[in-house]
Amino acid sequence: MQLHRQAVDFSTDIRIQSTSLIALTSLLILTPFALNSLLESRTLIGIVALGIVAIQAIHAWEIQRGNSRPWVVLFVLTPCMITFLVLCFHTQGIIAALWTYPAILFYYCTMADRKAWLANAATLACVTPQVWAILEPELASRVTATLIAVSVLSAISARATTIYQRSMEDRVISDPLTGLLNRTVLTATLNAAVEHYRRLGTPMTLLLLDLDHFKQVNDTYGHEAGDKVLVEFSNIIKESTRLSDSCFRIGGEEFLCLLHGANLESGKHIANKIRLQLQNKEIIPGHATTTSIGVASICSDDTWQSWNSRADKRLYKAKHSGRNKVA
């Protein structure tokens, strides 16, 4: 659904912050190492180290300005870091293995899971032969085991963090009872729809839906029955709309559907489909559950507020013309 493109991506925010902090850390730690290497005539390794610091700094600056380029880390920084590690093995021996651990952590802090896995695998593929070439077999096996362990634990930790972040996103933007979107992303969604219409002219229609006499359901049958009505009504809405549509619970018994690519006639058809399905479904035995729906297609001079207001006026008209109506 389009909601996920408009919702706050917490994992991306964290990677942006991580990139900035890592760039600062590299500046403070890797720069002295690079300068020392240049002074001791290890020119190539010094230049590569300074290059890594410079690329990280530029990348962090661009991200802070909103110019995210994920490919820079995978296709520029990762090869530079692998080159740096291989050069370190040739000039410093076992000390180079110590640089590999922060490199692995760097990948998982600055890249999405799959890109980090790829960078991690490429690093191990290049570093492991160097370990076995310069160390005794017993020590080489221990270093290899620790590199693999750090890689696996980093991947597991990053994956668990991603799952947790996505769970938090869902909690923030979704209604816990019905699974529909809540008001958190409503304004952003409608704004984006208006901008999309102005650029491309794609027809869009709003449905504003309100359950008729819902308070009587709670008062007569209890809140558990009321919750059941809300869930069943939400399921009808989901079944009657497409994945490209955005459906919200915006109040106690009030709902909104943004129908992408639907003109007014298509919107009325979907609204009547929802209304009839609810009318014919006996959610509470002996009680007829109905809904009133206001339908409004976007116009060229609309803001999201005027568009939503027009749907609201038509919902009011539907309710005051007898309820269980589409207007």
Query: Could you give the 3-state DSSP secondary structure of residue 89?
Result: helix
Distance between CA atoms of residues 224 and 235, nearest Å: 17
CA atoms within a 13 Å half-sphere pointing along the CA-CB vector of 80: 19
For residue 265, indicate whether it is catalytic.
no
Tokens of residue 284, six digits: 């509470």
- Which of 224, 253, 254, 265 is an active site residue? 253
Size (the chain), residues: 327
Burial (0-12, 13-18, 19+ Cβ within 10 Å), 76: middle
- The DSSP line for 6-65 is HS--HHHHHHHHHHHHHHHHHHHHHHHHHHHHHHTT-HHHHHHHHHHHHHHHHHHHHHHT
Distance between CA atoms of residues 180 and 174, nearest Å: 6
For 6, residues 6+ apart whose C-beta sits below 8 A from its C-beta are 185, 188, 189, 192
Phi, psi of 238 (to 5 degrees): -60, -45
Tokens of residue 55, six digits: 């690329």
- CA dihedral sign, ordered 196, 202, 207, 208: positive
List residues bridging with 254 in a β-sheet: 210
- The DSSP line for 231-277 is HHHHHHHHHHS-TTSEEEE-SSSEEEEEEET--HHHHHHHHHHHHHH
Distance between CA atoms of residues 225 and 283, nearest Å: 9
Annotated catalytic sites, by residue? 253
